[in-house]
Amino acid sequence: MAFTDTVVAPDPVLPPVESTDAVRFFESWLERAPKVNAIALRAALRLLDMATVVSHRRRFHKLPEQDRAAVLRSMEKGRIRQAAKALKGISFLCYYGDDYLMKRLGYDADANVARARELRTAEGRP
């Protein structure tokens, strides 16, 4: 959760990560992923969490938000930038994929599906 919270840095207008289904979605996604992918992602997040023990004397999730953000910025410029980008992308997907949050941002997936069905019916398409 600390990684996603740092990556998406929700404004006070948007709900905090713990108020969304982002963490549950990520866990569900990992359960369905190929085992090797799930193991690699979990390992990457655990390594990130431990990586700051030497430099900051605390685990990543215990750092203040500004320090976590600085760590992520340095990751994006270093040798592991592709891994950092992948993890960030997953975090954005998990957070912004929350139905309640999407509706707050003006996107209603259910309404869009209903409109599409009506259009297909009106046009005589299956």
- Over residues 7-36, the pLDDT tens digits come to 777 777 788 888 899 999 999 999 999 999
Q: Which residues of the chain, if any, have pLDDT below 70?
A: none
Amino acid identity of residue 28, one-letter, is: S
- The pLDDT value recorded for residue 6 is 81
10 touches 16 (CB < 8 A): yes
- The pLDDT value recorded for residue 49 is 93
Q: Tally the domains of the chain.
A: 1
- The pLDDT value recorded for residue 105 is 85
**How many whole angstroms separate alpha carbon 59 and alpha carbon 54?**
9
- The pLDDT value recorded for residue 126 is 81
Alpha-carbon separation of residue 120 from 2, 51, 107, 110, 111 (angstroms): 43, 52, 20, 15, 14
In which domain, by residue range, is 73 found?
Answer: 2-122
- The pLDDT value recorded for residue 100 is 87
